[in-house]
A and B are shown apart, each in its own frame.
Chain A
Amino acid sequence: MYRRTLVLMLLAGCLGLAACASKPPKPSAATQQSTAGSGAGAESQGAEGGANANGGPFGNQNSVPGPQQGMLAKRSVYFDFDSAEIKGEGTDIVAAHAKYLSDHADARVRLEGNTDERGSPEYNIGLGMRRAQAVRQALLLQGASANQITVVSYGAEHPVDPAHNEAAWSKNRRVDIVYLTPNIQPPQAPQ
């Protein structure tokens, strides 16, 4: 874990100071990234938290952790515009992962809700969360346990296809199911 944190710090350092060749911005917080706050932020990162083989935190499509058999290899559930209804193949994908989670009590997933780029960014965070919660509820109804699932919404901030057309938008309206190393403690809900 320590080594991974350091790698992240080095990465942040390189990026943070890349700027000073042309202009002298102050990379004040970039250097604090790993030390800010206390506790969970810097320590709770799993395999997805640090630098992956391809340099980014969002993983490499060619080396996805977690089960790979049959429908389990599919990790994205797609949605219609302005909808959080699980449909078509998405139903089968969710069912397969629910069964896997039910059969493997130590397995942990993070559900990442996403929207297309259109509209107000924070409202899209809400829409992405609605989609992620729809998948969470379906997983729970089919046997997964609440402690196996964490949820985050990226809204429109993490598109898989950055193009600005309907073909890209339909790929970006999705919930990604990301398998984690099992030692992550989810943060607490507000009272």
Chain B
Amino acid sequence: MKRKPRAAAPLRMFLAVLTAACLAAPAAWAQLKIQITSGVTNPVPIAIVPFAEAPTDGTDVADVVQHDLVGSGRFTALARDRMPATPTHAAEVKFADWKAAGSDYVVVGRVTPLADGQLAVDFNLLNSLTGQSITRQRFTGTASALRNAAHRVSDVIYQAITGIRGAFATRIAYVAVAGAGADQLFQLVIADADGYNQHLILQSRFPIMSPAWSADGQWIAYVSFENHLSAIYVQRVLTGQRTRVSMRAGINGAPAWSPDGRKLAITLSGNSGHPQIYILDLGTQQLTRLTDAPAINTEATWSPDGRFIYFTSDRAGEPQIYKIGTTPGGIPQRITFTDDYNAGPRLSPDGKLLAMVTRDDSGSYRIAVQNLATGDFRVLTHGGLDESPSFAPNGATIMYAARPGQGEEGILATISVDGLTGLSLKPTQGEVRDPAWGPFIQ
């Protein structure tokens, strides 16, 4: 957040009150607790030995890595009290002992201070069956970035063993809601993909919804209803600087960044009950209308090449997913035909899978994916009110909002696109919804 050097008197007064409020206010911050809900039948056994650590803020690198890998559902980790030794260099590892303990892989590493005050995280991934080193790497950074370095270690290990690029060192945005009725409080939050390291982006008594990341991860677009007016904002994550890009009559909703970050697809209704999809050029402010059916048209998601938009429309009487070109005058093509309710589409990063909310015969709302090449349609989740799917940048996992049961608050959950592994992110209080998984961080 940038402030002008000389604040006017009312602003100074405001800042003084802010400081006082900080001291007096109770902690109203909901942490997210991870619980693994499903995993593959033959997870890879691995041992993450505690790293030799420089004095730090208390971040246990090996513990963070272990949570990442086990949380993926594809690994089991050897408990520390069952480890035969605590080596921190490859040369100290007696492979027969680890093989006997049941670990196919062993990770050893160290955190060491550098001359410039930064920290170096060195690790070595070893195969205890062959006695070979699979990969060894070093990440450097400030002490405050130690958790991030640990997630990068997880990314390397995950890719080396599964062949899939890891997405642990990424971030998510979501909306936290506390209270009900007149006391409702909405928070737009950014956190690491494991729910740690939360940052408050916006707080409001009015609803906040539909956060969307720009492809470079520097901006968030969202809908906020401040003063009972729906409006779309784009906000720079690092500085908090924000711009209101649309506050027209009726709906201003469902922002989605074009792959090049120059445009937003948005939904506008004006004074009609027929919201339409527009493309807003953020540089020129030019508005281009894409749809015209007298129906609900909303929830745009871009193809990776920027040439098409997939969206929800009930032009056929029920919500289904359609596809239209991003140059005006295109003819929409219907994409989904399974079940009588498909909405909230999101394209996978490679553009091959379409995730959505589907309603099945029992009236349950669940996350499904459709293979766009084959038409194969698969329901991945088993909840009753699952919604808001969002792909991890590696395309391997979908995060979504779920309500675990009658009378329970909303949580975030993940499911792998093969439906095999999942976990839940439960707030310590209140409810969370509307997850948006950010891009890879360069």
A residues whose Cβ falls under 8 Å from a Cβ of B: 6, 9-23, 25-33, 36-37, 40-42, 44-45, 48-49, 52, 54-60, 84, 110, 112, 117-123, 125-127, 129-130, 132-134, 136, 146, 150-155, 157-160, 162-165, 186-191
Contacts and interface: CB of A to CB of B under 8 A. Distances in A.
B166 to A, nearest CB: 25
A18 B28 contact: yes
Given A17-B18, A31-B1, A120-B343, A190 B278 contact: yes
Nearest to A29: B202
Interface string B380-404: 0000010110000000000000010
Given A119-B365, A120-B312, A26 B199 contact: yes
A112 to B, nearest CB: 8
B357 interface: yes
Interface in B8-41: 10, 14, 17-19, 21-22, 25-29, 31
24 contacts: A14-B17, A15-B203, A16-B18, A17-B21, A18-B29, A19-B28, A25-B29, A26-B200, A32-B1, A33-B226, A40-B229, A52-B182, A58-B184, A84-B273, A125-B267, A127-B296, A130-B273, A151-B271, A153-B251, A153-B269, A164-B385, A164-B403, A164-B406, A189-B248
A190 B433 CA distance: 29
Contact of B26 (A18, A110, A123): A18
Contacts of B230: 125, 152-153
A119 B200 contact: no
A188 B249 contact: yes
Interface residues on B, range: 35 or more
B180 A159 contact: yes
A132 B19 CA distance: 41
The 8 A-B residue pairs with the shortest CB-CB distance in the complex, in nearest-first order: A28-B240, A56-B182, A120-B344, A133-B273, A189-B270, A126-B296, A25-B200, A120-B343
A13 B10 CA distance: 13
A119 B343 contact: yes
Contacts of A28: 1, 200-201, 239-240
Contacts, number: 261
Contacts of A158: 184, 207
A45 B10 contact: no
A157 B271 contact: no
Contact of A125 (B298, B387, B406): B298
Interface of B: 1, 10, 14, 17-19, 21-22, 25-29, 31, 180-185, 188-189, 198-207, 209-210, 225-231, 233, 235, 239-240, 242-244, 247-251, 253-254, 267-273, 275, 278, 287, 289, 296, 298-299, 312, 314, 319, 341, 343-344, 357, 359, 365, 385, 387-388, 403, 406-408, 433-434
A122 B267 contact: yes
Nearest to A27: B200
Contacts of A20: 22
Contacts of B287: 190-191
A171 to B, nearest CB: 12
User: Majority SS of interface residues in chain B?
Assistant: mixed
Contacts of B202: 29-30, 33
A118 B357 CA distance: 10
Contacts of B22: 17-18, 20-21
Contacts of A22: 27, 29
A133 B227 contact: no
A4 B79 CA distance: 58
B1 A120 contact: no
A151 to B, nearest CB: 6
A160 B26 contact: no
Nearest to A153: B251
A178 to B, nearest CB: 8
A157 B207 contact: yes
B253 A189 contact: no
Nearest to B3: A31
Contact of A117 (B189, B233, B385): B385
Contacts of A36: 233, 242-244
B236 to A, nearest CB: 9
Given A16-B200, A129-B275, A190-B268, A123 B343 contact: yes
B180 A162 contact: yes
B209 A55 contact: no
Given A14-B25, A45-B227, A119-B359, A60 B182 contact: yes
A31 B250 contact: no
B249 A121 contact: no
